[in-house]
Amino acid sequence: MTMLNPNIPEAVRAVASDGTKLRYAMMELAKQFPDVIALGRGDPDLDTPAHIVEAAKQAMRDQRTGLTPVAGLPELRDAIAHNLRTRNGLPVERDNIIVTTGGQEGIFLIMQALLDPGDEVLVPDPRYTSYDDSILRAGGKMVMVPTYPEDAFDLRAEAVEAAITPRTKALLIVTPSNPTGGILTEASAKAIADVAIRHNIIVISDEIYGRFVFDGWKHVSIGSLPGMAERTITLDGFSKTYAMTGWRVGFVAAPANLIDAMTTIKTLTTGPVASVSQWASVAAATGPDEVVQDFYRIYDERRAIMKNGLGEMGFDIGDARGGFFIWPNSSSTGIHATELSYLVLQEARVLVFPGAGFGQGWDSFLRVTVLAPTDQLREAVERMRPVIAKYRG
């Protein structure tokens, strides 16, 4: 793989080794080009279902706009706990739930409540780099655990165990994965659970994309396995499942003592989530599941369009089993993925993210989302096709 071309704008080259900054630099650069089809960020483009919007309006009409308990509305926490019990098999009740201002705050609160200075967190590589700051600001240290294309980026229990040291406090799992679309399979979950129990490690399981697992695979919540309830922290939210990113409602399920600690921190920082957003989330959590099934079918159709298109361009697209992302291997072009992303943006007016935005050593991968209407996805494929052919040479 070649070095970065000096013709790439300095704003991108200067942050090429910092995943989060690199992604934001690419988004800023995209603003300079007309008619860009954005396949970078992971924010759903679909409308929030009407019954959820109506619930927010009704809450305002009824003047249910005052402060709620910091941990969240009892009605919402009960509904979340019910769904986690029935859908995920997690043995949780209201006291095991805290409602957070999006998943980002959930990540921050988990790390602040859990970590002491010097504690190590095992993190799968590649990764969603927004975890980095939360771990480091809590005084923790990240230890990378490799994942591999030949496993469809499933997490190997032996790789986890090999990374454990006396300072290891927790293991982070993201399933389905951002950026790879890999999932934690049932066999891997059982093997990793055994490792966690034997080494007395806490597992943080980010399951924000858990309702969107495809091709006959199924989502597994590791906290549902024997012996794992007392050592698992599950992070989820409403943003991805119900197209509610701007409503800012996430949640964490964990042992009650950790929820208490997180609530104390939240009391001293952000306070409760906006009441109207919580009432809307009650409607989401208790309303018809058909809306999620409709979203599922839409995303599945979009995945087929993008996977077929990228495959026809000569990319090895691997086996993306869940979530909103395709993680194609771009090494056959012979071009560094950051440069390739820039060329695709400049010449095809399609924004995708380079793999370097998700960890070191991934400069031959791209992250492509399916979060655009089908006609735009087809247009994106047609725009990219001649550009990729030109540089593949």
Amino acid at 392: R
On average, the pLDDT of the chain sits at 95
Decide if 231 contacts 241 (C-beta within 8 A): no
- Token look-up 């994942």 returns 147
pLDDT tens, position by position, 328-373: 999 999 999 999 999 999 999 999 999 988 988 899 999 999 999 9
pLDDT tens, position by position, 297-318: 999 999 999 999 999 999 999 8
Spatial distance between the Cα atoms of 37 and 23, rounded to a whole number of angstroms = 15
CB-count exposure of residue 375 (10 Å: 0-12, 13-18, 19+): exposed
Structure tokens at 284: 């989401």
Beta-bridge partner residues of 174: 206
* The CATH number of domain 10-46+291-392 is 3.40.50.300: no
- Asked if the model's pLDDT at residue 56 lies above 80, the reply is yes
- Domain ranges in the chain? 10-46+291-392, 66-286
Backbone angles phi, psi at 287, to 5 degrees: -85, -170
Question: In Å, how far are 29, 184, 189, 208 from 355, measured between CA atoms?
Answer: 17, 20, 26, 21
pLDDT at site 2: 47
Backbone angles phi, psi at 325, to 5 degrees: -125, 145
Alpha-carbon radius of gyration of the chain: 21
Q: Which position has the higher pLDDT, 7 or 382?
A: 382
Question: In Å, how far are 9, 280, 336 from 54, measured between CA atoms?
Answer: 45, 8, 47
- Asked if the model's pLDDT at residue 181 lies above 50, the reply is yes
**Nearest alpha carbon to residue 122 among 46, 195, 38, 57:** 195
Q: Do domains 10-46+291-392 and 66-286 have the same CATH topology?
A: no
pLDDT at site 15: 65
Give percent of the chain with pLDDT exceeding 90.
89
User: How many Å is the maximal CA-CA distance in the chain?
Assistant: 64
- State pTM to two decimals: 0.94
pLDDT tens, position by position, 8-19: 777 676 666 676
Q: Is the dihedral of CA 81, 86, 88, 91 positive or negative?
A: positive
- Asked if the model's pLDDT at residue 1 lies above 80, the reply is no
Question: In Å, how far are 64, 75, 382, 384 from 379, measured between CA atoms?
Answer: 45, 44, 5, 9
CATH architecture for the domain at 66-286:
3-Layer(aba) Sandwich (3.40)
